[in-house]
A and B are shown apart, each in its own frame.
Chain A
Amino acid sequence: MAAIWVMITMVLYFVATVTFLAYLLRRSEALSKVSLGITALGFLTHTIALATGMAEASSSSTPSFHAALSFFSWTLILVFLVVEFRHRIHVLGSFMVPLALVSLGSAAALPETVPTLQPVFKTLWFHVTLSMLGTVGFAVAFVAGVMYLIQDSLLKSKRFNVLYSKLPALDFLDHLNQQSIVLGFPLLTLGIVTGAMSAEFVRGSYVTWNPEQTWALVTWLFYFVVLLGRLTVGWRAKRAAYLTVIGFACVILTLVGVLLKGHGALS
């Protein structure tokens, strides 16, 4: 049942991606409403997909990578809709919706493998949820960073094209970048802590230094430095944009590491 809803959602996100990208290239603002409507509809079906998925999964099962990615995608759209509602920056959709589509697509491409680990406590659910929310923060920071770098280069090279007119002001993007990390970082921290705790319960040690754990810690450290740098020595604007783009690449590597190693199981 959930699979059908996921399929519908994917189709909607795909259409929204296409219209949002077309919006990016056209002067007219009309397309933004259509794109937004389709995205909102997709979000609705996505919510249903997640809810039915939850209902179908028994309470004893552990979260699959599939579900985690779907949740990630859902939260991304939620954040987009909230920011859009508050600031009316349609162009954000041209970046966020494709990202949500890709993550949901890769989730669907994965087999819903039966987890190999049997956690004793519910901490694994916390671990996954918190890590994913933290990752959403970094993903938004990444999008804001990419948009910042584009707008920065357009302004520097004095190319006042359609994209220039649609992208928001630099300081807004920098602020969005900062907020996303300020929110994402504590969530990831908690995610890692709960992950370590569940590892302790399962394996008896907090850290086993496997590749994805190492990468997670590297990522955490990286964002810690980024955040610290911003607050103390003024790593903002262009530098912050670059750093968050690099940081998100680390996050992707971590996820890929989890994927390759565990075949769907998180530890």
Chain B
Amino acid sequence: MHLIVVGLSHKTAPVEIREKLAVPDSRLGEAVSRLCTYPGVKEGMLLSTCNRVEAYAVVDEVESGYGSIQEFLADTHLALSSEQLTPHLYCHTGDRAIAHLFRVAASLDSMIIGESQILGQLKDAFETALMHKTTGVVMNKVVKKAISVAKRVRTETKISEMAVSVSYAAVELARKIFSNLDQKTVLLVGAGEMAKLAARHLIAQGVRHVRITTRTPQHAIDLAAKFGGVPVLFDQFRDEMASADIVLVSTGAAHYLVSVEDVQRAVKERMNRPMFLIDISVPRNIDPAVRHVDNAFLFDIDDLKHRVEQNRAERVQEAETAERMVVEEVVSLLDWMKSLEVTPTIVALRSRVDEIKRAEVQKVLGRLAHLSPQDRELVEGMASSIVNKLIHRTMVTLKTEVNSSSGPAFVEAARRFFHLDRAASADPGVDRQTEEAPCLLHESEESEHAERAPEASSPKRAN
């Protein structure tokens, strides 16, 4: 049972490959279900964003699991051959896979470090996997942990404090012009993705009045309904500019839609109240000369990107702190993962019941001092056989289910029923017990159970 991640990201693959491999939201469920039909894949989750496509899986064997996932990824898009894909793929297993997921969730692996979208995308991917029942004990725990690590990173470092994306940089700039966004009006011209995102950020920051215009009137009406705004006719938006404090332009037009005169007129009508214009379109839709108009502040996509770049540099420092947190969290999760392995569980179970048995036998024998050595052995033997019979089925089930998909669930259950995590939480404790146990085992253990004791964990007991 191994956790594995196979995928590609903006760091390893060009956009031509990424866009081919990307799985649209509508098909994500089907894809993740299909992932789990590949040989050796027991649990699966598919994370597909514009910057990365990654398949997380719990597999029986690393080698074959990698092969299966690679095959799955190549099958996702007909136009992609395995040869084209392989050079861009990376693969992490075990603790490195966990660390990778944590870093992705905490936005340490993002194109823009500290951006917040990835966490939402991960949550969605997890939801989809849950809905299609492709995850199990291991994946659920790991992903939930990743989400909590991401939250911890966000609250304990300043990584997400400064503008994380171009659309948010617009909000940050708006705050340097308007101290209070509550009473401000936004005019959204065109429906580019980035502009919509910026508008959404602004609304989240308190902007209440939104006016929307697009070339297609119906589109504006739909968007207005979505944002709780007012649609404006495209021909008339220049007249509306005076009433807008923030103008977001993002259309596909190849020429300037807003001229210097338009802005001058608007500023004059506004009695010189400052005006914030953001042009996210390429080619630009607002005449760049507008930046010379007093009390009008024009920023284009490059200005916003420049701002983001600066913030990014500051984030790198915060990212170092976050990386340390990730390492810490990986260690704690690994402890848990280790506990899910069958062998240590059997060892822990064995020592737990032996501990109880030994205590009880000593208590009884203390009061029965008159017993002959033979009688004492008889009492001890009886205690041993009761204990062994009680745990026999559990031991057998754990061993037989070790390779089934519900294996970890049985392990988890056994650990809870027998209160084993008390010992497992402190690893050295477990070791000490297993080391102490053998002397007792040799005396009282029946060979049947001694055989079952796994070789790997305790060579002494294997004999």
Q: List the interface of chain A (C-beta within 8 A of B).
A: 151, 155-156, 158, 160, 164, 167-172, 174, 233-239
When chains A and B are docked, how far (Å) is the Cα of A237 from the Cα of B177? 11
B272 in contact (CB, < 8 A) = yes
6 inter-chain pairs at a CB distance below 8 angstroms, sorted by A residue, are A151-B176, A155-B177, A160-B306, A168-B179, A169-B175, A237-B274
Q: With CB as the reference atom, state the residue of chain A lying closest to B162.
A: A165
B291: interface (CB < 8 Å): yes
Q: Are the CB atoms of B310 and A160 closer together than 8 Å?
A: yes
One digit per residue, 1 when the CB lies within 8 angstroms of any chain A CB and 0 when it does not, for chain B 305-323 equals 0110010000000000000
Closest B residue by C-beta to A89:
B179
**Once the chains bind, are A234 and B271 in contact (CB under 8 Å)?**
yes
A90 to B: closest C-beta gap in Å: 15
Known contacts A160-B307, A237-B295, A238-B294; is-contact A155 B272 (Cβ 8 Å)? no
The 3 closest A-B pairs by CB, nearest first: A234-B271, A169-B179, A172-B179
* Bound: A151/B303 CA distance, A: 16
Give B406 Cβ to nearest chain A Cβ, in Å.
Answer: 54
> Are B271 and A236 closer than 8 Å at their CB atoms?
yes
Point out the residues of chain A lying under 8 angstroms from B180, CB to CB.
Answer: 171
**Inside 8 A of B66's CB, which chain A residues have their CB?**
none
B-chain residues with CB within 8 Å of residue A238 when the two chains form the complex: 272, 294-295
CA distance A190 to B126 in the complex (A): 71
Q: B176 touches which one: A169, A174, A235 (CB < 8 A)?
A: A169
Of B268, B272, B303, B306, the residue contacting A235 (CB under 8 A) is: B272
Please report the C-alpha to C-alpha distance between residue A237 and residue B295 in the assembled complex, in whole angstroms.
Answer: 7
B338 within 8 A of A: no
B179, A237: Cβ atoms closer than 8 Å: no
Contacts of B173 in A (CB 8 A): 155
8 Å CB contact of B273 from A167, A168, A236: A236
Determine if B297 is an interface residue (Cβ-Cβ < 8 Å).
Answer: yes
Confirm or deny: B237 has a beta carbon within 8 angstroms of a beta carbon on chain A: no
Q: Does B178 contact A (CB under 8 A)?
A: yes
Residues of B within 8 A of A171 (CB): 177-180, 273-274
* Residues on B with beta carbons closer than 8 Å to the beta carbon of A172: 179
Q: How far is the CB of A239 from chain B (nearest CB, A)?
A: 7
Contact assessment for A158 and B273 in the assembled complex, using a CB-CB cutoff below 8 Å: no
The reply to whether B306 and A158 form a contact with Cβ atoms under 8 Å apart is yes
Chain B interface SS verdict (over half): mixed
B202 to chain A, nearest CB (A): 14
Q: Are B176 and A164 in contact (CB under 8 A)?
A: yes
What is the chain A residue whose CB lies nearest that of B314? Answer: A27
Complex alpha-carbon distance, A170 and B272, angstroms = 12
**Which of B177, B268, B303, B307 is packed against the most chain A CB atoms within 10 Å?**
B177
B56 at the interface (CB under 8 A from A): no
Contact residues, B260-314 vs A (CB, 8 A): 268, 270-274, 291, 294-295, 297, 299, 303, 306-307, 310
Greatest chain A CB density within 10 A among B179, B299, B306 is at B179
**Nearest CB on B from A78, distance (A):** 23
CB distance from B255 to the nearest CB of A (A): 24
Q: Which residues in window 320-355 of B have CB below 8 A to A?
A: none
Set of chain B residues within 8 Å of A237, measured between Cβ atoms: 272-274, 294-295
Query: CA A174 – CA B178 in complex, angstroms?
Result: 10
Measured in the bound complex, the distance between the Cα atoms of B83 and A6 in whole Å is 82
Q: Determine if B176 and A233 form an interchain contact, defined as CB atoms under 8 angstroms apart.
A: no
Which chain B positions have C-beta within 8 A of A164? 176
Point out the residues of chain A lying under 8 angstroms from B294, CB to CB: 237-239
Do A234 and B177 touch (CB < 8 A)?
A: no
Residue in A closest to B275 when the chains form the complex, CB atoms:
A237
Contacts of B178 on A, CB cut-off 8 Å?
169-171
What chain A residues lie within 8 Å of B270 (beta carbons)?
A: 234
Given contacts A171-B274, A234-B271, A239-B272, contact A156 B176 (CB under 8 A): no
Residue of A nearest to B309 (CB): A160
Instruction: List 7 other contacts, CB 8 Å, given A170-B178, A233-B271.
Output: A158-B303, A160-B306, A167-B176, A169-B179, A234-B272, A236-B272, A236-B273
Measured CA separation A238–B173 after assembly (Å): 18
Q: Give CA–CA (A85, B273) in the complex, Å.
A: 27
A82–B137 alpha-carbon span in the complex (Å): 58
Q: Which residue of B lies closest to A154 (CB)?
A: B176
Taken together as a complex, chains A and B put the C-alpha atoms of A171 and B276 apart, in Å, by 12
What residues on B are CB-neighbors of A233 within 8 Å? 271
Smallest CB gap from A155: residue in B: B297
